[in-house]
């Protein structure tokens, strides 16, 4: 057989199964390397709670005052500007918001143990300053969900996912609960790190920080 034609030769059954085994082994090895690289990469993207990097967005005193309106039964929307720098537009401020829920670590841990231990343990405090703050982006396909006072639940209007006040996924097509974001008080200012996580994935995989 001509050399150039050799790759078309399906080979004997033994050769075929050897090739299948090798192909699967390469894919599996790639997956292991990928996970090994992804975890340090994710952690390295996140600012530590002592960091002064501009990945932390500062809230104005008026914006920070919104936290005080949250009660045990009523999360509040807190708006703030995420400071972004890119090659096309330079520095810009993008208006965003989070949902702030009054919480203790025990309350959140009871409903969302996966955030505190195991493979999906978050590398930053889930509860800070007596609050957990959730990204407003539905982890199903990225719509903005809202708080429904009558039901005391977060409801997504797009495909009907329902979440408890502590972000536990209770119904609908989403594959995980709501995504907590880093919150801290630093030098007298309330700061939040804006993180976009991959949608439609049971795990919180970082897409973008800040
Ligand atoms: S985007 Fe929220 S349920 Fe689909």
Mean pLDDT in residue range 80-95: 80
Kindly state whether residues 109 and 155 are assigned to the same domain: yes
Measured at the alpha carbon of residue 13, what is the angle toward residues 11 and 18, in degrees to the nearest 5? 85
Give the predicted TM-score (pTM) of the model: 0.76
Kindly state whether residues 95 and 39 are assigned to the same domain: no
Task: Round to whole Å and give the CA distance between 180 and 186.
Answer: 19
Ligand 1, atom 1: closest residue by C-alpha: 141
Ligand 1, atom 4: closest residue by C-alpha: 159
Pairing of strands 153-155, 189-193: unpaired
Kindly state whether residues 29 and 105 are assigned to the same domain: no
Within 10 angstroms of residue 34's Cβ, the number of other Cβ atoms is 10
Least confident of 63-67, 71-75, 152-156, 196-200: 71-75
Distance from residue 156's CA to the centre of ligand 1 (Å): 6
Kindly state whether residues 29 and 110 are assigned to the same domain: no
Least confident of 20-34, 114-128, 153-167, 181-195: 20-34
Kindly state whether residues 192 and 172 are assigned to the same domain: yes
Q: Does the structure show a pLDDT above 90 at 162? A: yes
| pLDDT for the residue 59 | 94
Domains of the chain: total: 2
38 or 118, which is more confident?
A: 118
Q: Does the structure show a pLDDT above 60 at 152? A: yes
**Most confident option among 67-71, 118-122, 128-132:** 128-132
Distance from residue 162's CA to the centre of ligand 1 (Å): 9
In terms of residue numbers, what domain contains 205? 52-209
Least confident of 22-26, 118-122, 133-137, 151-155: 22-26
Residue 136 is part of a domain; what is its CATH number?
2.102.10.10
Kindly state whether residues 91 and 169 are assigned to the same domain: yes
Ligand 1 atom with the smallest distance to the CA of 145 is: 2
Binding-site residues, ligand 1, Cβ < 6 A:
138, 140-143, 156, 158-161, 172-174
Distance of CA 194 to the CA centre of its chain: 10
Distance from residue 172's CA to the centre of ligand 1 (Å): 8
Kindly state whether residues 84 and 171 are assigned to the same domain: yes
Among 159, 163, 169, 200, residue to substitute to test ligand 1 (most atoms within 8 Å of Cβ)? 159
Kindly state whether residues 111 and 58 are assigned to the same domain: yes
**% of the chain exceeding 90 in pLDDT:** 63
Distance from residue 155's CA to the centre of ligand 1 (Å): 9
pLDDT, tens digit, 9 for 90 and up, residues 7-32: 345 555 555 555 554 555 544 444 44
| pLDDT for the residue 52 | 53
Nearest partner of 181 among 126, 117, 106, 114, judged by Cα? 126
């Amino acid at each position: 057989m001509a050399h150039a034609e050799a790759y078309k030769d399906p080979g004997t059954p033994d050769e075929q199964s050897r090739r299948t085994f090798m192909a699967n082994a390469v894919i599996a090895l790639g997956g292991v390397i990928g996970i090994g690289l992804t975890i340090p990469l994710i952690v390295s993207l996140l600012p530590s709670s002592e960091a002064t990097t501009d990945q932390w967005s500062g809230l104005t005193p008026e914006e920070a005052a919104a936290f005080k309106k949250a009660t045990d039964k009523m999360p509040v929307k807190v708006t703030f500007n995420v400071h972004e720098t890119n090659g096309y537009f330079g520095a810009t401020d993008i208006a965003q918001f989070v949902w702030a829920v009054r919480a203790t670590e025990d309350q959140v841990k009871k409903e969302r143990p996966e955030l505190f231990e195991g493979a999906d343990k978050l590398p930053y405090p889930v509860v800070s300053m007596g609050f957990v703050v959730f990204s407003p982006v539905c982890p199903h396909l990225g719509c903005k969900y809202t708080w429904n006072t009558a039901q005391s639940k977060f409801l997504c209007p797009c495909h009907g996912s329902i979440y408890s006040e502590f972000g536990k996924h209770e119904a609908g097509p989403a594959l995980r609960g709501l995504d907590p974001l880093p919150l801290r008080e630093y030098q007298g200012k309330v700061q939040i790190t804006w993180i976009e996580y991959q949608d439609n994935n049971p795990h919180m995989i970082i897409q973008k920080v800040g």
